[in-house]
Structure 1
């Protein structure tokens, strides 16, 4: 045939098998056409799932037509070195189950399928001591699938585990792919050979058949898995970044299937598409989406009336929990009804949760496939009942995480819950976050010692964001500070002078950062990115200088003598110092003193309100509740010789705990200079807010 363009499925050159598009072009162009109509061809387009297959792909399908037969060859599968093996637990009784009752139509269908399997040589008549029933399950096309109920055999079978790939890990591999082809093996379990001698155990439909199948597929496609192929049982997904690359990938995969005598089902295959449904998700070059057919089932789900119905709904909805922010908090009212000894009472809270979840799944966002050449961003927060987090790249979500708090975690303070949210988020996504350096953000500063070690294992900078700024915030890496010196009004001249390695006064550049002495300088823009007015800095300095309260509160006297520094510790909260600030105005709760505890390594301080009349036992109780709970037991404690600290109770307590007590010299507080500096700063702050205690 003659056409205005060469387009069609090549059989034997120069013959072309025309498509509908060819005839449409010829009709529109009013060109003469001579067509040879064949009763059958090597590859029938009726077998192909779409007529829009590119010609190059169709040529490959023609070349590998034997991989896509209309039916499996008769006889037993090829011996490939991997066979399905069933080992029974020694000494167990073999099951002998009666068949299920069936109506006449079901009986005829079972007999037909059994006879078909006998004719193909897949099964044979047996006098096995085992007997398990069969049942019919409807297929999507309305036909019936015969299944063997081998639960009784499963219960007495030795378990041999083979790793099944994680679904989310397989989806991550698709990042950057443009073209997809999905291959579905025809009657996959019928293509695996049983181990000789195990046929009588009727083990083919047992719970370990999937493991055997995965072992076979991994063996056949091992050179390609993780490069351009993902396999999940009998589903094979081939992904590529270009058409030429995709054609090459198709050829090598078809070669592997041909060599292993594995056959695919053309009717269920999808070739060379940019949008494919895979394992409940829709995969595109832009990311992954929810499957509209499954979301339709959720949207049409009637209001549950039993616990079982709630569990079924949550099971289906939970499959897409990564698409819903704060999923656990939303479904918390529904989970309450599934608890033991909780009466079923559908109230407004359950109805709101049910409707909200439906709506969020119906309008679920597109999730980006992770690109490990780009920086990851993370946001996390905690509420009274749950945790929530989102992983982003370039401001677009990659995944959502949520977790309902229970047990002891419900009793955490707000600080601890928010830090726990960070810990759980890091743990969940650590396989992403270890890949590249990135700044993290979480909405509070508290750091319980039980989690600090885990957080410190990550090479990241944690930044605090106020709650009011936490609705939509960006996470800036420390590296971006380097790029902002050039345009900064305060530091650009200093930075330009020092960039050639010449220090200016006490300023110098180290690793690209501007330092003054040993302090890192950040530009004003980063500190005041939310507020601005002309001459803002000068106005702030002038306001502070004219503040009468501030000037009265601050000391104008020089320090009396020198503070004596102690040896620097090697780890946070192993060596601490403590003191009391007395003589303060009495609060509504009767507290008139502050118990000051300072970590000598990090300089972090805790200010604990207390009573001047508290004895050593009260102070110890306060210390355990507020300090040890967060940071653990210290190695050393530095304090003055207050009566509480030299009491027999206090000394005996710390002696049993293995903590060494160190006391400053009598009438010489400079011995513990660090605590004295903290006390002086605290006193200045208190004087600034308590007018009646200002110095005259």
Structure 2
């Protein structure tokens, strides 16, 4: 009852409401997102387990992928998951035929049994420190970790989460110490919500317990960024012998499988132009018949196509003027619609933005550039100066402006700057502007400060109209007070940087 009173008090304090019919009271367990949560911890719901246990034996790669995708949901509850599933993963390779053998028949029920005998993860206790135990294995080309907390009742450590992943092609070439450091950094970022000032990180690599050692003086910029992250995290790793680091060592030597490659699909016959037209029209929320109806209605208000429709639909059309005759060249009139060059639908001005948006900004279009978008549209549609309209639309596309960088060569000659001797001795400073307003302060600009040596970045929200004095105060608050004074600040000729105030 006390817990219910606390929850309801918090809801009332923040003016939040709950629906009574969706609430359950006086229960010792609850279901949430396929999980059962009680005082003992977190475990999968029985419905999830039943779906896996009733899954039939796969007959092809598609069925095997479906089974492994379902089983992969239970990965964090099953120790040594990838070791059990390894025989089945070999069948996902497209370079070998799909032959179901005795070893696969043995691994299939064994994986079901391992999931059925899953471990129960403990619920985090905010009063107890979290212990992160990572490890790396160069032979298995993977890293693994476990997050644990000590149980007050039994005095033993209980797992909060298991984790492991394979190394990338570049990470395989890292030295052993950097691999151990990578494991610490990766899982500290993954489970950062678990970590606090009193948390501990255990490692079996003793040199990682002292970042001020002279062996780190000439390390790579990547390692310097890692050291800076650990300093901001405020947790100093503690050394434990490798023999005591059993769980994380096992996870790193039994990593999760890499993503399976897709099977090469059989060649498909290209659809005809009318079929392509209908497919493009069906992508939008408006049905194709509705779209064609709007085209017929839009011709009457289009200054380019309305004279053509009137001339071609008249029983006794007058002789067209030379300008109109030039417009009507290669245009036919069928069922109230105009077609250019045979099958290219003529689109009135009122529907230009809709058609460009469907071919550029819809989920299946991938925000292609001007050339590719125009070629895609030109095979289906026609209107005068289509190239110009496509260019204007794409240059104003908000997602494209955010995610696509310029591909033009920089003007003038480049003058390289000297390499700094220590982190945050020299920084680059610039603004990222014209962003959607966010937060209570309606920030629309980000001040970006990057260390030229280790490439670490500090992002400060601000406004586009911020003055030189306000910019200097933000720089002092978020950069100088945290990283010290800089010998050099590199920026463009923004009035806020070249003013006398700086």
TM-score range, shorter chain: 0.3 to 0.5
Relative CO higher for 1 or 2, CA cutoff 8 Å, sep ≥ 6? Answer: 2
Which structure carries more helix by proportion? 2
* TM-score, normalised by the number of residues in structure 2: 0.39
- Higher Rg: 1
* TM-score, normalised by the number of residues in structure 1: 0.29
